[in-house]
Amino acid sequence: MRPPETAYLYDEPGPRTRRRIRIASVVSLVVLAGALALMLRQFASRGQLDADRWSPFLSWPIWEYLLVGLRGTLLAAAVVAVLGGALGVLLALGRLSPLRPLRWLCTAFIEVFRTLPVLLLIYLMLFGLPAYGINLPVLWKLVVPLTVANSAAIAEIVRAGVLSLPRGQTEAGYSLGMRRLQVMRAVVLPQALRAVTPSLVVQLVSLLKDTSLGYVVAFTELLYRAQVLSAYNRLLVQTFLVVTLVYLVVNGSLSALASRLKRRTTKTAAPVAAAVPAQPGAPAVEAPRA
Amino acid sequence: MSALVDNLPALLAGLGTTLFVLVTSAVGALVLGTLVVVARVSPVPVLRAAAFGYVQVLVNVPLLALLLLAVFALPDAGLIAPLVTTAIVVLTVYEAAYVAEALRSGINTVPKGQVEAARALGFTLSQTLRMVVVPQAARAVVQPLGNVLIALLMNTALTATVGVVELTSATNKVNLVQAEPITIFGAAGLVYMALALVIGLGAGRIEKKVAIRR
């Protein structure tokens, strides 16, 4: 068994502690297995575990149907990632700009859209704006609110990265006669973005989860397809569990990538900050207080 | 403006539901998240693995998928509870994973040397945690926990999709009748921002109070 990363919290267990740990292991295993068994029994008592309720998910057409949804999810996530990433970097630069009006504008944008629920923005797109003659295609009804919300989160991540760089980097750039924007582009941003890459990947996971709101705007993505499918085959429990599993696999691999990148960057560079997985609203990295 | 005043009762009722869901699931998530993180750092491998799995699953699955699963699918398996209760349980379980991660990153901010010094002095695990790790970690987690709570506030809006009439849902309903989106959505947006501000400022104050000057 691999020693846990928090192993430094306790001494090497002696014979008596080892026995206690063994007992605790058995007890917790029994409790967890018992809980699982109870749940399975509950499912079985309603016939939810019957083979004919699960066998449809072994057939290709169902998967084909769901994979079209997954394609929509990935498409929406990619569009939001590209647009939100670009907008986020610009906002971060704006917030760090010496121009006061620009700084205030970007700060206001970031602070507002970091605290508004995405669903409120989506309802505004769906039911509010058409009254003013603004009626976008369905993909954009999902992508625009997500881009706005995620760009604010990405801007804070990028800003944290820029602020975490030693000042000497910027000063060295200036002393070489570079302009502010040149220093940003050639010296600060490349290093800052590298430092926050793990946080950006974590934000990508959060963004991919957000695309499930396509369910609300009726955009063909994974969760919406699951909803349509379950309305058709009446296998609600099975369909939603399968879709949850698909999300888990896709996002789990992204998260694994993020932690691998994190291990790599912490080996080469100083860690940026304690990272908490990103979710709508919470900046993935704590921006150092200015 | 009159669209707002006329529908104030409906909007306030929505706000009340939002606050109720927010507070109950925040308390639940803090308690459950603490339990998860205790399991995560415990010397018992089974508990550690279970806590790790719990966090990984909930951090990687969209909240909306869990809400739909709990509200529409689980009744088919005989698991059914009132709508708002179900929503609170799902939010609690989901948000607890983020609380656990925030707490764990707090524990990681305590330098190893502190723990090693405590062990060298002969402290037991619970003494080390109680007297050395937690007091220092607590200070580092205030701000991240505040951010988790703000995210929870925003996530309460998602319960609108399964039929809970909270602020976002009430706003949308009022707008469907009144058709004054800018005023009505703007007002709801301001309320969310104000709530987030309160949480943020509260966290800032607590942080200042418990900060250690090194």
Handedness of CA A222, A228, A233, A237 (dihedral sign): positive
- Percent helix, percent strand, percent coil in chain B, to nearest 5: 85, 0, 15
Contact A81/A203 with Cβ under 8 angstroms?
Answer: no
Nearest to B128 among A9, A128, A251 (CB): A9
Name the CATH code of domain A60-268 (choices 2.40.50.100, 2.102.10.10, 2.40.30.10, 1.10.3720.10).
Answer: 1.10.3720.10
**Which of chain B's residues have a Cβ under 8 Å away from the Cβ of A274?**
105-106, 108-109, 140, 144
In this complex, do B168 and A10 lie within 8 Å of one another by their Cβ atoms?
A: no
In this complex, do A209 and B62 lie within 8 Å of one another by their Cβ atoms?
A: yes
Nearest to A146 by CA among A199, A219, A229: A219
Q: Which domain holds residue B174?
A: 2-210
Mutate to test the interface with A, among B15, B61, B145 (most CBs of A within 10 A): B61
Q: Is A84 exposed, middle or buried (0-12, 13-18, 19+ CB in 10 A)?
A: buried
Q: Which two tokens stand for residue B143?
A: 């701000």
Q: Is B19 exposed, middle or buried (0-12, 13-18, 19+ CB in 10 A)?
A: middle
Nearest CA distance, B40 vs chain A (angstrom): 9
Predicted ipTM? 0.86
Q: What is the CATH number of the domain that holds B200?
A: 1.10.3720.10
Mean pLDDT for B43-64 is 92
- Alpha helix stretches (DSSP H) within chain A: 15-45, 51-54, 60-95, 100-115, 118-123, 138-164, 167-175, 180-183, 189-210, 214-217, 222-233, 236-268
Q: Is B17 exposed, middle or buried (0-12, 13-18, 19+ CB in 10 A)?
A: buried
Domain assignments of chain A as residue spans, ordered by start: 60-268
Nearest to A155 by CA among A86, A204, A58: A86
**Residue B212 phi, psi (nearest 5):** -105, 130
Q: What is the predicted pLDDT for the residue at B135?
A: 84
**Which of chain A's residues have a Cβ under 8 Å away from the Cβ of B192?**
115-117, 120
Which residue in chain B is spatially nearest to A24 when comparing CA positions? Answer: B44
**Which of chain B's residues have a Cβ under 8 Å away from the Cβ of A117?**
153-158, 168, 192
Number of domains in chain B: 1
Q: Residue-wise pLDDT tens for chain A (290 aa)? A: 455 566 677 777 788 888 988 999 999 999 999 999 999 998 888 888 888 888 888 888 888 888 999 999 999 999 999 999 999 999 999 999 889 999 999 999 999 998 899 999 999 888 888 878 888 888 899 999 999 999 999 999 999 999 989 989 999 999 999 998 899 999 999 999 988 988 898 899 999 999 999 999 988 899 999 989 888 888 888 899 999 999 999 999 988 888 888 887 766 544 444 445 556 544 444 444 43
Q: Is the pTM higher than 0.90?
A: no
pLDDT digits (tens, 9 = 90+) for B150-160: 999 999 999 99
